[in-house]
Structure 1
């Protein structure tokens, strides 16, 4: 329902966008054939302003009010009860809170007074119902007595008859009082209650006395008996009527004087804003943030998979040839290429430059120079100078290590050949700004000769063979005799041949290439490859006749924590 102010003192009422009537401000109006009454005391809005009215459920409002109301007893000394109640209410409107609390206190006081005067009010209602009937009975008794005396001229009562009349009056008065008491007890007690049964015994006793008095009256002359009975009716009815009038006055005075035992000490007042408690929320939010942060750190530590220190690898019986720190310069290169590749719907990180050429002083390059020195002495007595670099899983940085190891070896005066043996997803050609076609796969497929696939790079003494066109059967091509024939020719031309192969746990290409290499190394990435995964890759190679000389820990970050995890089986999708 919508109420729209029409003019200074008028408003319009609409229901479902239909006009149902007009009204005046400050007057009670009826709409919808008496189904709705509306009284608007004030309309503090400009003409044309509309307000939406909604009928609210009474019980729902009572529950809502009760949910915001709190009643507590004020504590006294040493926790003793005081009988003082404190009413507290919260809400968004301060004035509504004051009105509601005052209304609750006034209603409680009124109900207390009504409960105190409830008994007197019930008795007064009963007596007010009896008063007209008693007045009628008294008038009728007086008329009967006057008529009988007029018929007999005059009849005097003896002293015995007068005494009987007085006794009748006393008995009837007492019976009448007991009947009033019985009416009150019937509202509070059952008929088996001791007090109720005592009252009934007293009433029966008076009725027996009345019967005995009637027997004595029957012994008098007939005229005196009739006069006595008529006089008795008048006197008894008059006494009862007067007694009832006195009771009515007493109860009216008692009802008017009832004040109850409840007092309102203070009226409602606003004590200030209780919500939102900004300081409390700030403290709780800070504690919650710290708790979540600590929980997240603990959770990450619990589920952390990868190795963090070379000691974890060496404790598993595998020597660590080098620990290469994380290179910020290389990360920037990889991110730039990643954004460029994302335009082609690819999410792989590849390189468009050689770190050893771009930034020779980088700490990662220095670590690779240390690896070059270690390999130089390790490969002196080998049957060939072929080096295979692989890893347990994708994304460990084996291509980064292969490219930069080849670069630092060439810078040291060695004639180096870098072969991209990842015939599926090899991308080393991007580092040298070349294309991946006309490479190893084309030579193995007998489409090109060996000299046709060898590319010279911008780094002196460093040559490169790309992967070539992606074949449907990479492993089978690597197992062709042509691969071994080509290696024998290359051994005569180069001092060091480095193979970058696919992940060992993903495909078998690394196992095929590793059989033809004197030295094989695995690259593990910091916090990515767990020890058991590295061991699984090592076992995979050794089961195919490839000896793994050691491990290179790549992308090492400075952290104090270590983690141990257990993994049983590893499988990677590498397509």
Structure 2
């Protein structure tokens, strides 16, 4: 057994070496380059078609600024106390995406109502976008064309109803009929009037209907929650400035309707701004409400303090304060004022921080410091006379209460002004504008489609190469201990002529080229004929050991070129001066007669059944020295006829009359005829089709012949093709054409 070459079939490579042969892969792709390119072009065309027919998606954007906001009570001082506030837009982003904001947008823009025109499948929307108006032959059709519109002013259904669908058919002149999904009529109405339906309950107002009779529209009433979720999926909010908080938010919205995009995005920013202003005003209202409750109480305390002071002065005969007492009173009043201010700040901080927060603790420490200073002053005043002490206390109560009351009045006035002039901390910098089409991205789709087509084609080619286990080199046959007598290349001329014949109705089954006459006569310089001449030379020595001059040509399966090989081998032998006869041993489906352009009647079946003499069955051909015998009429029992003694007698008659008898037999794996014939002949060769017959088929065919007592001499590798995938390391065929003088 000879050693296999490095480049045999892909199957041998996978079994013998666990590695990828790059040359085989590239060669397989090169062999199928037209298929790969064709599939790539088909996918590119599909990508172009998809891009053209897809509904375009546009994108609109707007820019919003969120500024730092301060507290309401003691705002400037409190922010100074807090050391400034860090700007964080995360909360504003979530507010923008909340159902509170987007729900109002849905209500304002009517995003819960959708009108879908019913158009032709696939290309209808494209025709509508192109402005193609209704042609004359489509009058009365239910499809909608350019210039035909439906606008709904209001569609009200039950509050808890889910998404509903209705069909609205135009009846002409602004009239319409409304159907449910099952085709039941719900009601009839006209434009600019309200249609009321009881079951299911709905109220529909059509503001505009410009469509001929028969045109239909699908009206979708979404639930409010579904409409909000749909808007949330299309809305994108991106903070600008990277890691640094700039307070700038870019809002983008995608959809097929540019008008709806601008309206929805403008409504989103307007609702957000209105909500922010209302929130700021609510804080002022809350603080003002608190101060309005406290002001009367402080005023009452001031009145009571003044009354107590006046009564004491009357009782004590208008005691005047000394300079020392007045100084102490002034300092105590200042401390009380500072404490009161800290209490206001503490009320603000208690809503924002816990008691353990550093800012809150700092305020408490400052308050405790003032309280200690107040206690020290009170201790100093204990040395004063009793009258001075009492006057000091009453005067302090009056002045402190008066200052608190004035502070409350001032703050209330500030809050009223703030409420009247609230602008919020949100600013719309850029209104909504459509930037352009963002989908489909035609160039990207076409590129991806082309690459996908090429990848699919290459995958198919490589998978076919992996799964195809047919014989592709003589070395594989020699590994099976079968000598290769010849490798016959595939003739380009025979291939073209065979395809032409295959397109006809009666000859579609012929795939081996025998239906087109003898190639050895038509084109003697063809590469296939040259290879068959080398087979003639090999047979000259191979048949020396045979018991007779009969040669059986068989094969594992049909349509592998047995008849082509038999007839053209006979022709080249006759051209060499031998007297040759070709016997069509396939009485079922033989077609040797087609190579000689005659019919199949009066052949082997008539001879074996005794209806025809031996001499009458032999027909001459256009080539001197070449005769042939057709298969005859198809008998019901061809195998039994071949086992008859008359067949042996006929073979002996042919063997005596001719130098070489070539018998074309049916495939051995299909019927047993080849084994019966081969048992009575000295030499048997098997035709193997390149890339078709597998090693397993050949082994089974050899075993079938061996069981029948037939010794297989060797093989003929037919229809050998020059392929880049298997050309490495193998010998090829070289054209040495010439013309005779």
Q: CA deviation at 1:265?
A: 2.5
Change (3 A) 1:407 1:51: closer
Change (3 A) 1:66 1:522: same
Q: CA deviation at 1:313?
A: 1.7
Q: Deviations over 1:164-189 (max 9, x none)?
A: xxxxxxxxxxxxxxxxxxxx99x999
Instruction: Give the match's secondary structure for 1:502.
Output: coil
Q: CA deviation at 1:39?
A: 7.5
2:182 equivalent to 1:20: no
Q: CA deviation at 1:51?
A: 7.4
Pick from 343, 347, 352: which aligns with 2:509?
A: 347
1:7-406 mapped onto 2 (5 Å cutoff): 14-15=177-178, 19-21=188-190, 23=192, 36=203, 38=205, 40=207, 54-76=220-242, 79-121=243-285, 252-342=416-506, 347-349=509-511, 351-406=515-570
2:605 equivalent to 1:441: yes
Q: CA deviation at 1:458?
A: 2.1
Normalising to structure 2: TM-score of the pair? 0.55
Counterpart Cα distance in 1 of 2:231 and 2:582? 82
Instruction: Give the match's secondary structure for 1:524.
Output: strand
Instruction: Give the match's secondary structure for 1:266.
Output: strand
Counterpart Cα distance in 2 of 1:423 and 1:12? 79
Counterpart Cα distance in 1 of 2:448 and 2:216? 42
Counterpart Cα distance in 2 of 1:38 and 1:251? 46
Contact kept? 2:536, 2:573, Cα under 8 Å? yes
Higher RCO, Cα 8 Å, sep 6+: 2
1:490 aligned residue = 654
Q: CA deviation at 1:311?
A: 2.0
Q: Deviations over 1:97-155 (max 9, x none)?
A: 22222222222222223333334456778999x9xxx9xxxxxxxxxxxxxxxxxxxxx
Change (3 A) 1:51 1:330: closer
Counterpart Cα distance in 2 of 1:528 and 1:94? 60
2:617 equivalent to 1:458: no
Change (3 A) 1:541 1:110: same
Q: CA deviation at 1:61?
A: 2.8
Contact kept? 1:439, 1:466, Cα under 8 Å? yes
Q: CA deviation at 1:23?
A: 2.9
Pick from 720, 725, 729: which aligns with 1:556?
A: 720
Q: CA deviation at 1:543?
A: 2.8
Contact kept? 1:341, 1:348, Cα under 8 Å? no
Change (3 A) 1:395 1:38: same
Counterpart Cα distance in 1 of 2:650 and 2:284? 123
Contact kept? 2:151, 2:209, Cα under 8 Å? no
Change (3 A) 1:439 1:11: closer
Change (3 A) 1:91 1:412: same
Q: Deviations over 1:7-50 (max 9, x none)?
A: xxx965654586435538xxxx686699536474xx69699999
Larger C-alpha radius of gyration, 1 or 2?
A: 1
Pick from 614, 631, 656: which aligns with 1:467?
A: 631
2:145 aligned residue = none
Q: CA deviation at 1:73?
A: 1.9
Higher mean alpha-carbon deviation, 102-111 vs 504-513, is at: 102-111
Q: CA deviation at 1:387?
A: 0.3
Contact kept? 2:470, 2:692, Cα under 8 Å? yes
Over the residues paired in the alignment, what is the CA RMSD in angstroms? 4.9
Counterpart Cα distance in 2 of 1:426 and 1:50? 65
Where structure 1 has 5 or more consecutive residues not aligned to the other structure, the ranges are 5-9, 135-157, 161-183, 190-194, 196-242, 564-575
Instruction: Give the match's secondary structure for 2:639.
Output: helix
Instruction: Give the match's secondary structure for 1:259.
Output: coil
Contact kept? 2:549, 2:655, Cα under 8 Å? yes
Instruction: Give the match's secondary structure for 1:273.
Output: strand
Counterpart Cα distance in 1 of 2:238 and 2:691? 59
Instruction: Give the match's secondary structure for 2:589.
Output: coil
